[in-house]
Amino acid sequence: TLTIEFPRTAADELYGVTTMEIDEGFAPSTNSKPLAGSHVLVVSSRRDLRVQIRDALRNMGLIIDFVASVEEAADFCRDGLPHAMIIESIQRGERFAHLREEISAEVPDFVFIEIIEEGNTFEMSGFSGSNVARVGRDVIESSLPSALMFELSKGL
C-alpha cells in the first residue's frame, strides 16, 4: 500500500488523504546471474576466438580461464576441474578424447561445449548420441550464453 499526500488541494476539504494501491507484479529476482561464480575453461589457440567467447560471456558473472591447447587444459584440470569446458573444434582429437574420458569418469555430467568453425546453430549434448554440445562460431554472442546456461542447469 502506498499513501500519497497532496497538501492544499481542493479535494482535501472533501476527501482528506488520497490512498492508492500499486501492484508490483512479481518480486524482483534475487539471482539475476544464476551461473555467477561458475568456472569455465576455454581451450582456444586463437586470440580472436578467445575475445569473441569472452565478450559473449562477459555479463554472466563467470570465472573464465583460457588455455591454448588440450595439453594445457589437462595440466589446468589436474589442480581442480572447472564446471565447464569450451573448446574450439580444431583442438578436438585423440588427446581431447582421452581428456574427456578422464573427466567424464570423475564427473559424468561434466559440460563440454565445442565451438564449430562455421554454422549458426546450437546443438545440445545428447543430440545425435554426442555428449558434447556444439555452438556455431557465427552465433557465439547470441547462443553461447544460453547453451552454457542450459548445459550447466541439466546437472542441477
Task: Write the pLDDT tens digit of every residue in 16-25.
Answer: 544 444 444 4
| Radius of gyration of the chain, Cα coordinates, nearest whole angstrom | 24
Return the C-alpha cell found at 136: 556455431
Confidence at residue 124, expressed as pLDDT on a 0 to 100 scale: 80
Task: Give the residue with greater pLDDT, 5 vs 21.
Answer: 5
Q: CA–CA separation, 30 vs 147, rounded Å?
A: 22
Q: How far is it, in rounded angstroms, from Cα 84 to Cα 111?
A: 5
pLDDT value of position 117: 87
Altogether, the residues listed in the chain come to a count of 156
DSSP summary character for residue 113:
E
All residues at 6 or more sequence positions from 116 whose CB lies less than 8 Å from its CB, including other chains = 89, 134, 135, 136, 137
| CB burial string 28-37: b at 16+ within 10 A, e below | eeeeeeebee
How do residues 38-75 score in pLDDT, each as one tens digit?
899 999 999 999 999 999 999 888 999 999 999 999 99
Please tell me which residue, 36 or 88, carries the higher pLDDT value.
88
Alpha carbon distance 65, 83 (integer Å): 11
The string of pLDDT tens digits covering residues 98-151 is 999 999 999 988 999 999 987 788 888 765 556 788 999 999 999 999 999 988
User: Taking the chain, what is the end-to-end CA distance rounded to the nearest angstrom?
Assistant: 38
**DSSP string across 64-111:** EEEESSHHHHHHHHHT---SEEEEEGGG-SHHHHHHHHHHHHH-TT-E
Would you say the pTM of this structure is higher than 0.85? no
Dihedral of the alpha carbons of 40, 44, 46, 51, in degrees to the nearest 10: -10
C-alpha 57/C-alpha 146 separation (Å) is: 10
The pLDDT of residue 126 is: 67
pLDDT of residue 23: 46
